[in-house]
Amino acid sequence: MQRLRVSITAGTALALPIEIYTPKGSLIARGAVSSRDTKVFELSMRGKDQTDRLLERVYVFAKLPRGTTIQEVVELGAEGGDAVLNIAKGSPYEWLEWVTPFRSLRHLSGEQPHDPVGLSLSASRRIGKVWATLWEFQERRWEARNVRFESLQGGRGIRQLTIDVPHRPHLLQLGGEELAWRLISLPPGEQVNIALTPSRQGGRGDALDITVGRQHPENELVMTYLSQGNLPEASRLAELKYIADSMLYEKFNDPISAVAGGYILLKTNQLERRENWLRNLELHFPHIADVKILKAALAREQDGVSEKDIRKMLLEAMEVGFPTFSLGMTLLLDSMAAMHRGEAEKPQFHRAYLAVQAYVRAMCSNDAYLAFYGKSPAEPLWSPIYGMEKAGAATPVSQGSSPPVFMRRPKGAPRSARYGATSVTLPLAPASRKMFEFTHEPHETRQALQGRITTDHWLSLQDLTQSEWKNVKVIKNKTIPSVEIQELPNYLAMQEDAGPAMSSAPRKLKLHSSLRPEETIEPASAPKPKPSQNAKYWQNERITHSISVMDEDE
């Protein structure tokens, strides 16, 4: 029998699902291969006479999370042959090789056409400035913190940020002149790498791709396959002994891997057999929302668990912050949708449901970790905005100033919801001409306006006549200040006025005038009241704690 030895060359510990085909396209073997050791496959091809036939050639395919494949053609001898899959091929730097399974970097390598200064043409798009703000969840509140990166390395247009994340939920907010504002959930309790690499897109959208990974990103691969609906590939990787062990038996050393294992067990209908394992995971790691979400999802599938208890589990999951994985947020929405009572729903659960809906719609990545467009943890966005931390704009800087765009929410819809203890500002959506109503305008005005706007055009100030401006009201103190048209109501995306920063100077408390001045009391031990978390608070925190992570002009 012929044997095929398959190995992976990578800059870090990685594993990939593979399939082996004959020249006629018949699948003869499948499994998972790790860069830690060589996997041996026994190849058997029987003829019509039921005798084994020797294969002269096989094709080895490794499917990457993004749907692309790596292929190796292997010529076989009587004993078999060897296949080496070079995953890191195309990475411009050795320290960036861990990114290659998640996204291609070939457009950054020497294999692509170059411009006169030596940069790949695909990477020559302007990137501009990029900023970052770190948010920490503690005592049921999101607060900004000064971020300190353990290392910051890279070349022109490429950065790798390394940060030690404490054992609490954290969000890293990134934005820039050519990068839409988004918040990314970081795995707690270990060192995390965030890679910023030039995008393969043209002049529209983000100029940078963002990849998040830990020191050993095998579990990110498992969760990325799972997040994109590739359950067979995720299951094959999870069957590798060292990955399975880290997921199931090393939860105290690596709870995030254990959470990834929980999602695999849930999707393969095996979590109920490990209910005690899940209970222990929640007992020792109550700050990880994914564990509580898994507990509620399992309870939905079990007999004897009341709807009241499941609803309580879902609300408890929201009290400890956001899930680490994107799959956690979508699973939370699915579970809440199944429990929702429609018009008979109680206000508390309904407001929580609206908040989860808003975050799911704001999600902006199919990668393992949760990422959503937003101005702050409490202000998700359904349309991306660009620019530096003090002011957002509807388009990247390179596209120039564009006309403001009208936004709207359904009539009578609430403006806020609650995610745990956090008041969430519900986003607005761009309004197209088809959504515009002219119930109070004469026929000739409607005809004139409709003639000026194409069907898929977003409404802007340039589309309004002088008479229509009479119903416009300016609303200030927004990241993107709005203009409301009273008929809809509609809102307009514009520039933000950063306003003065909040003072952090300590304040003295004085007693009544019957006391002498020297009797003024300094409340040294009294706890300082927490500031109200309104739009001004979120704006100030974002600006005060932001730092520059990339400046193409430097």
pLDDT tens, position by position, 447-492? 554 454 444 444 555 555 555 555 554 444 344 434 444 333 333 3
435 or 380, higher pLDDT: 380
**CA 80 – CA 54 distance, rounded (Å):** 9
pLDDT bracket for residue 444 (50, 70, 90): low
| Most confident segment among 68-82, 233-247, 446-460, 489-503 | 68-82
Specify the pLDDT at position 527: 67
**CA 429 – CA 381 distance, rounded (Å):** 9
Whether pLDDT at 432 is above 50? no
Cβ atoms of residues 420 and 318 within 8 Å: yes
Specify the pLDDT at position 525: 59
118 or 257, higher pLDDT: 257
Three-state SS string over 77-108 comes to CCCEEEEEEECCCCCCCHHHHHHCCCCCCHHH
Cβ atoms of residues 537 and 531 within 8 Å: yes
Whether pLDDT at 287 is above 70? yes
For residues 355-379, give the mean pLDDT.
93
| Most confident segment among 65-74, 192-201, 512-521 | 192-201
Q: Which of 176-180, 225-229, 371-375 has the lowest mean pLDDT?
A: 225-229
Whether pLDDT at 401 is above 70? no
| Most confident segment among 34-48, 76-90, 219-233 | 76-90
Phi, psi of 472, deg, nearest 5: -100, 135
For residues 155-167, give the mean pLDDT.
88
**CA 134 – CA 198 distance, rounded (Å):** 22
**CA 509 – CA 507 distance, rounded (Å):** 7
For residues 1-26, give the mean pLDDT.
82
Other beta carbons within 10 angstroms of residue 242's beta carbon come to 15
pLDDT bracket for residue 509 (50, 70, 90): very low
Amino acid (one-letter) located at 553 = D
DSSP state of 502: P
Determine whether 383 is exposed, middle or buried from the number of CB atoms within 10 Å of its CB (0-12, 13-18, 19+): middle
Q: What is the total residue count of the chain?
A: 554
Specify the pLDDT at position 295: 95
Which residues, in sequence order, are CB contacts of 219 under 8 Å at separation 6+? 243, 246, 247, 256, 257, 260, 368
Cβ atoms of residues 259 and 325 within 8 Å: yes
pLDDT bracket for residue 410 (50, 70, 90): low
Specify the pLDDT at position 424: 95
146 or 49, higher pLDDT: 146
Cβ atoms of residues 161 and 121 within 8 Å: no
**CA 379 – CA 91 distance, rounded (Å):** 36
Q: Which of 71-75, 232-236, 420-424 has the lowest mean pLDDT?
A: 232-236
Specify the pLDDT at position 109: 65
Whether pLDDT at 122 is above 50? no
Whether pLDDT at 532 is above 90? no
114 or 220, higher pLDDT: 220
Nearest CA to 254 out of 266, 244, 268 is that of 244
**CA 204 – CA 201 distance, rounded (Å):** 7
